[in-house]
Amino acid sequence: MPAFAAAAAALGRELTVPEVAQTVVLTRTSARATPMPPGEDLATLGRSRATIVLHLAVQRIDAVVAELLPNYGAGCPVAVVARASREDELVLRGTLADIAGKVRDAGVRRTAVIIAGAVLGAENFADSHLYSADRRRS
């Protein structure tokens, strides 16, 4: 199972929610890795306010937060799932305003997925039209 799917399962959350967010961006940051192509930086990707999932980025949590803040806002829900689906799984929940401190306090430095977006705080949302009992099927 991909890390992002295991993280969503650990959170007990869907990554898309009708009328909240229908797009999921799976990405990483460039730190010591290969540079990101033009237009794939967090500032650009964040303009959509889609659910964003970052792999290999928890060691740069302060930079990630700084890059996401202008588009998502300090109150945006964020989760960091370390070692998703393993016995020693750790789930941290917060907002862009406080998640970096929680990550540091927990000592998480690798093997973690960061998920940010309104879907993490969505409640009492409508079912997808695809699953609606009112949908006409032919």
**Given this model, what pLDDT does residue 18 score?**
86
Residue 72 predicted with pLDDT over 80: yes
**Given this model, what pLDDT does residue 93 score?**
98
| Average pLDDT in the chain | 90
pTM confidence score: 0.89
CA dihedral 105, 119, 115, 23 (to 10 degrees): -170
CATH number of 3-120: 3.30.950.10
Compute φ and ψ for 40, nearest 5 degrees: -110, 20
What integer is the mean pLDDT of 73-96?
Answer: 97
CA distance 94 to 57: 17
**Given this model, what pLDDT does residue 129 score?**
54
The domains of the chain are located at 3-120
**Given this model, what pLDDT does residue 1 score?**
82
What integer is the mean pLDDT of 87-96?
Answer: 98
Report percent pLDDT > 70 for the chain. 87
